[in-house]
């Protein structure tokens, strides 16, 4: 899986012009059809998305090009899930969040449990990324919870990326930086600062 921008025409142009690289070997990625169509529940409505698929010109890997507004294997957008995570960090329970977002209680409870189980990893990763983006960043103040600390580091890193590369929705930044795995198994790969032109990627 490779995290890319949200404009399908721009992604197609990058792919066809050889500007996307295999995260495994840095070989040039080439068009290779599409993944299955899927619905993604946003803050207002459900949109259909059919991500492109690519193949590497050097190694046998294939990669789905997943738009940064999505997370891997999630039916809800990164922004919707992020809203739930922030609400919980501010003291709102999963049942109330489910009611506010119009999502099943079990779905919201799953988001919160998944993120909490990996909060220490994401705190470290986003703190490392923050310092890579802004070496003069002030120390992060502890919030009293692992989830709160992780979300604070995420927000500060997103703000630093905006200062360096220009405006971008924070949860799209979080999706790209986490390689789409914000609610998935924590990636073992080393953290690298995102480029303004080459998307942050992960093999899958």
Average of pLDDT values for 15-31? 90
Q: Tell me the C-alpha to C-alpha distance, in Å, between residue 56 and each of 27, 76, 169, 198.
A: 6, 29, 29, 16
At 88, list the tokens. 């919980």
Percent of the chain with pLDDT over 70: 91
Average of pLDDT values for 94-110? 97
At 66, list the tokens. 């997943």
Percent of the chain with pLDDT over 90: 61
Q: What's the pLDDT at 141?
A: 87
Q: What's the pLDDT at 172?
A: 95
The residue count for the chain: 204
> Which band of pLDDT confidence, cut at 50, 70 and 90, is reported for residue 194?
very low
Q: Which of 133, 132, 81, 90 is nearest to 110 (CA)?
A: 81
At 6, phi and psi to the nearest 5?
Answer: -95, -5
Q: What's the pLDDT at 38?
A: 80
Spatial neighbors of 192 by CB under 8 A, at least 6 apart, are: 132, 200
- The answer to whether residue 196 scores a pLDDT higher than 90 is no
Average pLDDT, the chain: 87
Average of pLDDT values for 42-50? 82
The three-point CA angle 197-201-202 to 5° equals 175
Segment 147-164, tens digit of pLDDT:
999 999 999 999 999 999
Q: What's the pLDDT at 201?
A: 33
């Amino acid at each position: 899986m490779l995290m890319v921008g949200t404009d399908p025409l721009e992604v197609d142009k990058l792919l066809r012009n050889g500007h996307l690289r295999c995260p495994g070997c840095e070989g040039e990625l080439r068009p290779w059809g599409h993944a299955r169509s899927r619905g993604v529940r946003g803050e207002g409505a459900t949109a259909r998305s059919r991500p492109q698929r690519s193949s590497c010109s050097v190694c046998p890997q294939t990669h789905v090009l997943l738009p940064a507004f999505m997370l891997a294997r999630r039916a809800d957008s990164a922004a919707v899930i992020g809203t739930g995570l922030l609400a919980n960090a501010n003291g709102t329970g999963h049942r109330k969040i489910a009611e506010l977002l119009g999502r099943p209680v079990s779905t919201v409870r799953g988001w919160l449990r998944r993120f909490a189980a990996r909060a220490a990893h994401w705190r470290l990763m986003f703190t490392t990324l923050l310092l890579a983006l802004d070496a003069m960043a002030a120390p992060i103040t502890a919030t009293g919870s692992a989830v709160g600390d992780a979300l604070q580091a995420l927000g500060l890193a997103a703000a630093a990326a905006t200062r360096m590369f220009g405006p971008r929705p924070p949860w799209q930044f979080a999706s790209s930086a986490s390689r789409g795995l914000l609610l998935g198994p924590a990636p073992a790969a080393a953290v690298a600062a995102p480029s303004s032109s080459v998307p942050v990627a992960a093999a899958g």
